[in-house]
Structure 1
C-alpha cells in the first residue's frame, strides 16, 4: 500500500472528510483492521483566504508547495491537494514535487466521462465558479461545463463559509441548492459536480434527479485506486 500525502486545512472540515473517506475506503476494499497510510500537513485557512482575496498567488503557492514537500519528505508516494479553490496553484505545487499529485479536475473529468456525460453543472465557491482555472481543465477533457448565474455565487459562498465550514448543515440551505441544481438542469446539465468538499455534507444523490459527482469522494477513490494498485 502506498502512502497518501494530504495537504489540508482548507477547511479542517474538508480535511477530516478526506481522512475519514480514505480510511473507510481501505477498510471496505481490504477488510479486517486495514487502514490508510497517510501523512498530512494542515495549513492555516484564514491566512490563505486573506492571500487569495489579495491575489497574492505566489505566496499561496509557496505555502502549499512547502506543505506538499513536507508530506513528500514524510514518506508520501502521491499527494492530494484537499481543496478545489486552491487548485488555482496546483501546477506550481506539483512542479516542486518528486512524486505525483492527483489533480482534482482530472479525476473528476474521468468520472464524468465514465458516466458518458457531456455537459455538467459545477457548484463551488464563488472564486472557483467565477474563475476558469478549474472548469477550463475539465473542458480539456471534452466536457462542457455550466455554472450558476453570478447572482447565485454570493448565496453559495454564504452557505459554504458561514455554515458548512463550521459544521452547520441546514435544511433551508439544502433546498436552496437543490433549486439551483434544478435550474442548471433546465440549462442542459446532465450531471452536477459538487466542487467543494463541504457541499458533500449538504447535498446527496437522493437530493438530485441528476447524477451527482462529489469531488472529494471521487478524489479519494482515485487515490485509493493508485495506492492499492
Structure 2
C-alpha cells in the first residue's frame, strides 16, 4: 500500500473527515483491522486565514510547498491538499514534487462526468467561488461549466464556513440558508452542485435535497485510496484521473 500524504488543518474539522474516510475505505477493501498508511502535516489554520484575508498568496504558497516537500521527504507516495481553496497554488506545489499531487478538481470532475452532467453549481469559500483557478480547471480541462452563486449568496456561504463549520458549529438555520442557495443555483441552470469546501459536507447531505451533490471531501479521499491500493490488490480498474495527476 502506498503512503498517502495529507496537508491538513485547513481546517482540522474537515481533515478529521479525510482521515476517517480514507481508513474506512481501506478497511472496506481489505477487511479486518487494516488501515491506511498516511502522513499528516497539519497547519494552524488561523495563520493561513490571515494570509488569505490579506491577499498574501505568495507566502501561503511557500507554506504549502514546504508542507508538501516535508511529506514527500517523510515517505509520502502521493499527496492531497485537504481543502479546495488552497488548490489555488496546486501547480506550484506539484512543480516542487516528484510524487503526484491528487487534484481535487480532477477527482470531482470525474464523478460529474460519470453522472452525465456538464453544468454544475458551486458552493465554497469566496476565494474558490470568485477566483478563476477552480472554475477554469473544470471548464478548460474537463469541459464542465461551473455556476457560482450571486454576491449576496456567496457572502452567506463564506460566512457560514468560517464562522460556523470551521469552528465545529452545525446550525439548522444555516442548513436552510444553504438549501435556498442551492435552489437558486438550480434556477440558474445547475444540474448538480459541487460542495467545494471540505467543511460543507458536515452540514449538507445528499438526503437534504433532490439536487445531485458532489462531496469533494469524500470523492478526493476515496480516489486517494484507490490510487494507493491499485498495485497491491492487482486491480485493472480504470481510474480516470490517473493520467492527469501523474503529469508534471
* Pairwise TM-score range, normalised by the shorter structure: over 0.9
Task: Summarize deviations over 1:124-157 as a string: whole Å, max 9, x none.
Answer: 0111101111111111201011110011111112
Distance 1:138 1:83 in 2: 16
TM-score w.r.t. structure 2 length?
Answer: 0.90
Secondary structure, aligned partner of 1:189: coil
Which residue does 1:173 correspond to in 2? 174
Instruction: Measure the CA separation in 2 of the matches of 1:31 and 1:24.
Output: 10
Please list, as runs of the form range in 1=range in 2, the aligned pairs for 1:176-215 lying within 5 A after superposition: 176-215=177-216
Partner of 2:115 in structure 1? Answer: 115
Task: Give 1:81-96 correspondences, 5 Å limit.
Answer: 81-96=81-96
> TM-score when scaled to structure 1?
0.98
Distance 2:153 2:188 in 1: 15
For the residue of structure 2 that corresponds to 1:122, the secondary structure is strand
The residue that corresponds to 2:244 in the other structure is none
Task: Tell me by how many angstroms 1:50 deviates.
Answer: 1.2
Report deviation, 1:81. 0.5
Where does structure 1 lack aligned partners over 5 or more consecutive residues?
A: none
Distance in 1, matches of 2:124 and 2:33, equals 35
C-alpha distance in structure 1 between counterparts of 2:115 and 2:154, whole Å: 27
My pick for the range that moved more, 87-96 or 48-57, is 48-57
Which 5+ residue runs of structure 2 have no aligned equivalent?
231-248
Indicate the residue corresponding to 1:60 in structure 2: 60
2:148 paired residue number: 147
- Counterpart in the other structure of 1:44: 44
Task: Give 1:32's aligned residue.
Answer: 32
Instruction: Name the Cα RMSD after superposition.
Output: 0.9
Q: Give the total of aligned pairs.
A: 229
